[in-house]
Amino acid sequence: MLIPYAIDNKRRLYSAKNAEKGKQYYCPSCGEEVILRKGEIRIAHFAHKSNANCSEETVIHKTAKLLIQQTIQSWKKGDKKAPIIRVNCPICGKPTYLEILEQMQIEDAVLEYRLPEGYIADIALIANNKIKMVIEIKVTHSIEEKKRKI
């Protein structure tokens, strides 16, 4: 399984393209050490060692959460522009772009936040110690064209 992102021992996220050889990186999903494969033939990626048992869906899910958190935290430090949220209309499917994070005065993005009802949100956007928005990551797999036509 090709893993496009990995974390270091401080839980900072790195793309394989920007990772450095000789450093230790870990799977964002299972936490096992991964190998950086960065050569001249194949696209740069991380890979589990042969005995690892990790789900690709889980890797994608956890990586998405970390990317969103890292983007919001970089914005709060002034390193990036405010993120824009894209929402597809459930009726027509057309996208709408929401520039609301600045208006909501978001201060932090917290992973796996336990809600009062007992549910755990993938990401909670916090302002003034209150939840302003929760984000749930849904991983879907692409469908082969042949299967899509059935």
- DSSP of 15-72: ETTT--TTS-EE-TTT--EEEEE--SSSPPEEEE-TT----HHHHHHHHHHHHHHHHH
Q: Are 70 and 14 in contact (CB under 8 A)?
A: no
Cα 100 → chain centroid = 20
Q: What is the C-alpha separation between 47 and 30, in angstroms, rounded? A: 12
Within a 10 A sphere around the Cβ of 13, how many other Cβ atoms?
A: 19
Q: Among 109, 111, 93, which Cα is nearest to 101's?
A: 109
Q: pLDDT 10s digit of each residue in the chain, 150 long?
A: 778 899 999 888 999 999 998 899 999 888 899 999 988 888 889 998 876 677 777 888 888 999 999 888 888 888 888 888 888 888 888 988 877 777 788 888 999 999 888 889 999 999 999 999 888 888 776 666 665 565
